[in-house]
Structure 1
C-alpha cells in the first residue's frame, strides 16, 4: 500500500492541485498579487539566494508546496524541514518607506503569524481563482473544504492555529477588503519582478512552440488579476486582451469538462504533479544566467545594504 500524505487522496486540495492548469499558473499569480504586500516581498527578497533568479525561486517554492499538498508524509516533512530552516533566518526591518502603512523600520519575520497567514492567503486565493477559471467553478461546500485544507496546509508550514479566519466567507470578506485597502504597495523592485512574472515585460523571446505556451500562461495570469492589481502594475488591458483571455480560458475549461472529446494525447497533460515543469523552468533560468545573461534585466542581485554601502 502506498504511503499516505497529510491529505486524503480525495481531499479538495489534492483534487485541485492535481489539475496542471492550476498547478502551472497559480504560483506565478500568487507571486504577482502577493508582491503588493511589502513586508512579504522585501522580507523574501532580502533573504533569498535567488533575488535575481525568481523563476528558480518559484520552482523551488512550487515543489515544496506541492510536496506538502500532494506528497507522502516523508516527502512533506522534508519540505517542511527545509522551509523551516530557511525561514529561521528571515527577519529584519524595512530599509526604506514602502507606502504610508509600512514606513522604514517596520519589522518583518517569516514566523510572524499574520505574515504566515498572508502567505497562505495569496496561495489559496490563486489556487481557487485558477481552478474556477480553468477547470470549473467550485461549489460552496467544495470551496469551504478547499479553504480548510489550505488552513491546515498553512499550519503544517508553521502557521499558528487561529491565525486564519475560521470560515471561507470570513476569509473572503477579509481578503477582498485587504485587496481594496490602502495597505497595498509595490516597491520599485516588486513592480519590476512582478511585471516579468506576469509577462508585461519579456526579457528574451522563446522559440516556438514554447513561446506560445509561455505567452498563453501570461495571458491567463494577467486576465485573472483583480483590476486594481493590473492597474498597479500598469498592465494594458483592453477589449482585445479581454477577448483573447476569455477565448483561451474557455478552451482550457472545455478540455477539462469534455474529457471524452479531448484528443487522447492531451489526457495525460491535464492532471498530475507540476514539479517536472518547475524543474524545467529552474534549469532554463540557470542556463541563462550561466551564459552571462540576467534572467530579469534590471533586477539587482545585491541586498539593500550592499547596494547602499559607500
Structure 2
C-alpha cells in the first residue's frame, strides 16, 4: 500500500517590524513628513533651556564647526529606531549607549539657578527624561498644528510609545511620568521652572538650530514659512527666554499657515505625506559642507 512521505511543517518566520511596528502611535506620528522634518529643530530649541542638558551635550561635542551634520546624524539615528527593524535599532542603541557613558562632568559656571559645579551625566534619569519630553511635546504639538488634532487616547498611546523609546535608550522607567496627563503636568512645570535658563552659547545654538537650517537653494523660499511655524509653536516662556518677538500679525499668519497645512494634508495621499526624511536630512548636511568648503559662514560654536 503506498505511503505518503512525511513532510515537515513549514517553519513560520516572524517578521522583524521593529520596536514600533506599523500602527503604533509613535510610528504614525513621526512618519508624517510635517512632523518628522520639524520636530527635531523645535525640540533642540526648547531643550536648550536646561543648562545641565545643554552643557553636557556641548562639552562633549567633537566638531562644533559642523553643527548641522551632527544634528542630521541624530535625526537619521532616531529614524532607525522609529522605523527600522529591531536589529537596526539595536545597532543605534549600542552606539548611543557607548557615547552616553562618556558624557559626564560638572557645570563650569552658573547656569541661572543651577550653580557651577553641579554634576551631570548623560545617563542621569532626570536629564534623559527632559530629552525625551521635548521630543514628545514637539511631535505632539506639530501634529496638532500641521496634520490634525490628536484625540486624548492617541496622546496617551503616543506618550506610552515615547516611554518605551526612552527606556530603549537607557532611561530608568521609574523616572518617566506614568501617563499622558502626568507627562503634560511635568513638561509644563519644567518650562515654567526657576531653573529654565539659556547660557550665552545655548541661546546662540538653540536659536540657529531652529531658524538657520542650511538648505539647498530650491528650498530657501519655504524657510520663512517653516520658521514662522516653529516660532508660533514654541511655549511663550521659551520665546521670552530667547527674546523672540511674536506680534499679533505673526500670530494670525501662523494660524492661517497651519490651517492651510492641515487642509493640504487631508487631500494629500498618505504615501506622499509620510515616510522617512533621509533624503532631506542628508541634503542639509551636504549644504552645510558646501558652505564650509566655499568659505561661507555657517552658525557655529568655537
Q: Do both proteins adopt the same fold according to a TM-score greater than 0.5, normalized to the shorter chain?
A: yes
Shift of residue 57 of structure 1? 1.9
* Other-structure match for 2:255: 246
Q: Which SS does the other structure have where 2:22 is aligned?
A: coil
| Regions of 4+ moved over 4 Å | 202-206
Q: CA deviation at 1:237?
A: 1.1
Q: Please say if 1:59 is aligned against 2:68.
A: no
SS at structure 1 position matched to 2:173: coil
1:154-206 residue CA offsets vs partner (Å, 9 max, x unmatched): 1111111211011110111111111111110000011111222232xx59896
* Structure 2 counterpart of 1:307: none
2:45 to 17, 32, 41: 32
**Is the Cα–Cα contact under 8 Å of residues 16 and 131 in structure 1 kept in the other structure?**
yes
Identify which of 83, 86, 109 aligns with 1:70.
Answer: 83
- Equivalent in the alignment of 2:22: 9
**2: CA distance, partners of 1:11 / 1:300:** 38
- The residue that corresponds to 2:301 in the other structure is 300
Asked if 2 retains the 8 angstrom alpha-carbon contact of 1:50 and 1:56, the reply is no
Q: CA 1:80/1:205 → structure 2, altered by over 3 Å: closer, same or farther? A: closer
Q: CA deviation at 1:137?
A: 0.7
1:125-164 matches, within 5 Å, as 125-164=137-176
Question: Partner of 2:222 in structure 1?
Answer: 213
Match of 1:263 in 2: none
Question: Which of 107, 110, 116 does residue 97 from structure 1 map onto?
Answer: 110
Structure 1 unaligned blocks of 5 or more: 261-266, 302-310
Give how far 1:129 is off: 0.7
Question: TM-score normalised to the size of structure 2?
Answer: 0.90
Residue 4 of structure 1 and its aligned partner are, at CA, apart by 1.4
Instruction: Give how far 1:2 is off.
Output: 5.3
Q: Is the 8 A contact 2:142 2:233 kept in 1?
A: yes
Kindly indicate whether the alpha-carbon contact (under 8 Å) linking 1:5 and 1:70 is maintained by their aligned counterparts in 2.
Answer: yes
Counterpart of 1:225 in structure 2 is 234
Q: Aligned residue for 1:270?
A: 273
Q: CA RMSD in A?
A: 1.8
Please say if 1:287 is aligned against 2:252: no
CA change 1:203–1:116 in 2 (3 A) is: closer
- Give the alignment of 1:106-125 within 5 angstroms: 106-125=118-137
Q: Is the 8 A contact 1:37 1:185 kept in 2?
A: yes
Rounded to whole Å, the distance in 2 between the matches of 1:197 and 1:2 is: 38
Counterpart CA distance in 2 for 1:31 and 1:54 is: 12
The CA distance in 2 between the partners of 1:203 and 1:129, in whole Å, is 20
Q: Offset at 1:268?
A: 4.7
Q: State the alpha-carbon separation in 2 of the partners of residues 192 and 82 from structure 1.
A: 28
Task: Give the Å deviation of 1:216.
Answer: 1.9
